Structure 1
Amino acid sequence: MDIGFLKNSVLEFVQSHQAYAPFVLGLMTFAESLAFVSLLLPTMTILIAVGFVLAAAEIPFWQAWIGAVCGAVLGNWISYEIGRRYKKTAYEVWPLSRNPQLVTRGEDFFQRFGPWAVFMGRFFGPIRAVIALIAGIFLMPNVLFQAANLASASVWAFVILAPGAGLAHYLLW
């Protein structure tokens, strides 16, 4: 199979379905930000590559970015609410029940940095999977959590999509 053919096929598919791009990106970042699921589906590498594909398919960056932000905010928000509702019994759900060291590291990180842990935790792979849950368990005030959640999701989505989008413009145009 010719790599040029494969590239053109992918680009044609994305271009013909570009209206769904923000929604698909939102689903991917939702999965990456939701406690439990993000441990099973590490989509970071795929998300970085998606930035390149979206730019090559001439999908406006801001549309993709908004979809990614919405999914990431929603994933963390649900994780936070699970933590508030179920407290430490949430740690007993698989795959967290199999990763007690991750929970301990997440709790230590949250205790050390407080509200900033929600912002910074988004940028550290394994911690991202549990920090919103821990914020809910430790009853972080909702307004403070949502502010950190939205700010971190906005920066994080830009950081994961922009390199691919910028590289695509550099290489393709």
Structure 2
Amino acid sequence: MDFETIRTATLDFVRDHHAWAPVVTGIIAFCESLAVLSLFVPATVILLGIGALLGAGGIPFLPVMIGAAVGAILGDWVSYEFGRYYKEGAKRIWPLTRYPEMVASGEVFCHRWGAWAIFIGRFIGPARAVVPLVAGVFAVGRIPFQLANVSSGFVWAFVWLAPGAGLFGFLKG
């Protein structure tokens, strides 16, 4: 199954089953935020498409945004805990072994920004896939990690869904 088929099937499902939109969006956001899995799931285009479905009406924005935020937060948390558990060994597990330059960039990013790397990294495509994992490897404290994780999760969900939902125009007045 290719990315276009996944995207189309997911958006058709959300269009036909509005009540499931928060759950589906949460699962997509989880996949987008889970270390490495984000490389294999076309989450960005699906989230933008779901935002457009919100803008078309019939699906309330807030529950879907919360679903996306919770999914993203959980994905980063699992990645972080994986990194804390496996430490340096996490970098020697497939498929990270296929992307050593991405892992190295994540390390530099984490060293430079600390817990802020979690917040900033959520908005940078390739970094999003490894920064929480690397933060766990380097044992960034759980409280600073979670503060950055939770706050960025909600901001990220709003930023990805709001344009399609037409909320930026609504906020302007």
Structure 2 length as normaliser, TM-score? Answer: 0.86
Which residue type is aligned with residue 62 of structure 1?
L
CA deviation after TM superposition for structure 1 residue 115, in Å = 1.1
Over 3 Å counting, the alpha-carbon distance change for 1:109 and 1:103 in structure 2 is same
Which aligned runs of 4 or more in structure 1 are off by greater than 2 angstroms? 10-16
Distance of 1:40 and 1:84 partners within structure 2: 23
Deviation of 1:90 (Å): 1.1
| CA shift for structure 1 position 13 | 5.8
The equivalent of 1:121 in structure 2 is: 121
Rate the CA distance shift 1:89–1:114 in 2: closer, same or farther, 3 A.
same
Q: 1:39 to 1:48 in 2, by over 3 A?
A: same
Aligned counterparts of 1:102 and 1:11: Cα–Cα separation in 2: 30
Give 1:17 deviation, angstroms: 1.5
Q: Which runs of 5+ in 2 are unaligned?
A: 1-9
1:4-29 superposed Cα distances (whole Å, 9 cap, x missing partner): xxxxxx99964551111100000000
The number of residues matched between the two structures is 160
Counterpart CA distance in 2 for 1:51 and 1:97 is 34
Q: Percent identity?
A: 52
CA contact (8 A) 1:26 1:69 kept: yes
The one-letter code of the counterpart of 2:80 is Y
2:173 is the alignment partner of 1:164: no
Provide the C-alpha distance between the structure 2 equivalents of 1:50 and 1:130, rounded to a whole number of angstroms.
Answer: 25
**Aligned pair in 2 of structure 1 residues 114, 58: CA closer, same or farther (>3 Å)?**
same
The alignment status of 1:50 with 2:47, answered yes or no, reads no
CA distance in 2 between counterparts of 1:16 and 1:123 reads 30
* Paired residues of 2:14 and 2:24 also in contact (CA < 8 A): no
Question: Residues 11 and 84 (structure 1 numbering): CA distance in 2 closer, same or farther, change over 3 Å?
Answer: closer
* 1:107-131 deviations in Å (ceiling 9; x for gaps): 0011111111000000000100000
Structure having the higher Rg: 1
Q: How much has 1:93 moved relative to structure 2?
A: 1.9
Match in the other structure for 2:98: 98
Show CA shifts across 1:73-115 (max 9, x none). Answer: 0000000000000011111222211000000100001111111
RMSD value, Cα:
2.0
Q: Match of 1:129, SS?
A: helix
Q: 1:130 aligns to what SS in structure 2?
A: helix
Asked if the contact 2:117–2:131 (Cα under 8 Å) also holds between the matched residues in 1, the reply is yes
What letter matches 1:35 in structure 2? A
